[in-house]
Amino acid sequence: MTTLGCLLVAISAIWKTVDVSLQQEVSPEEPIRSLRHQIENAAAEGDVEMIRRLLIRHEAGACEKWLALKNASAADRKDIVLLAVSLGADVGHVEWDTGWNALHHAALFGSAETTRVLLELGCDPQQRARNGMTPIELARARSSGRYCSREFREKLLKCEEILRMAADKSGLLPQPVQCDGVPMYATSGH
């Protein structure tokens, strides 16, 4: 086979591949999924510049900004929390399916520094999730878990302490009841 013949066979094979890929249906949501996946990864890895590029270059909407905020809250990345808020993420946003705000995500993972920042930005520490739990109750419940490592329990307790101090300052928490010399806080019972 001549060089020209080989070239024609190669071009034909390429066109068949292109033709098949063009015939495959591409979901219009695929670019959005990809963007959201990139935001989740960048927030978890603490890549501030990537978050900035993704939220600005792609003209991210409220959903993508919330995604950056909630993932940064869980990962204790206060720098990304501040960036997301400066780009328009709503610290007052509550997830429709869980009733969680960003403080719930921070409390679940013991993100103490981010909890402080979220409180300063006005995130509601008394937001009740659909299961009836506030962020402080969530941190308390998780820290009392049987399979919680000592290091992780300390992070959760620090987060709980920050939330309790914020609630005490605003008069939102009842005073503790002493039980065998240990202060006990009543939970919502939900």
Q: Are residues 98 and 164 in the same domain?
A: yes
pLDDT in tens, 105-159: 999 999 999 999 999 999 999 999 999 999 999 998 888 877 778 899 899 999 9
Structural domain ending residue among the three candidates 48, 73, 90 = 90
Q: Let me know: does 102 contact 69? Beta carbons within 8 Å.
A: yes
**CA 105 vs CA 7, 29, 88, 122, 174: distances in Å:** 57, 26, 19, 15, 23
Which tens digits make up the pLDDT trace of 165-187? 888 776 555 445 555 555 554 44
What dihedral do alpha carbons 130, 136, 141, 145 form, nearest 10°? 130
| Residues 129 and 167 both lie in one domain | yes
Residue 24 resides in a domain: no
Q: Do 168 and 136 share a structural domain?
A: yes
> Is the domain of 141 the same as that of 74?
no
Q: Is residue 39 part of a domain?
A: yes
Domain range for 164 is 91-172
Q: What is the largest CA-CA distance in the chain?
A: 94
Residue 136 within a domain:
yes
Length of the chain: 190
Whether 3 is in a domain gets the answer: no
Number of domains into which the chain is organized: 2
Q: Taking the model in full, what pTM does it have?
A: 0.70
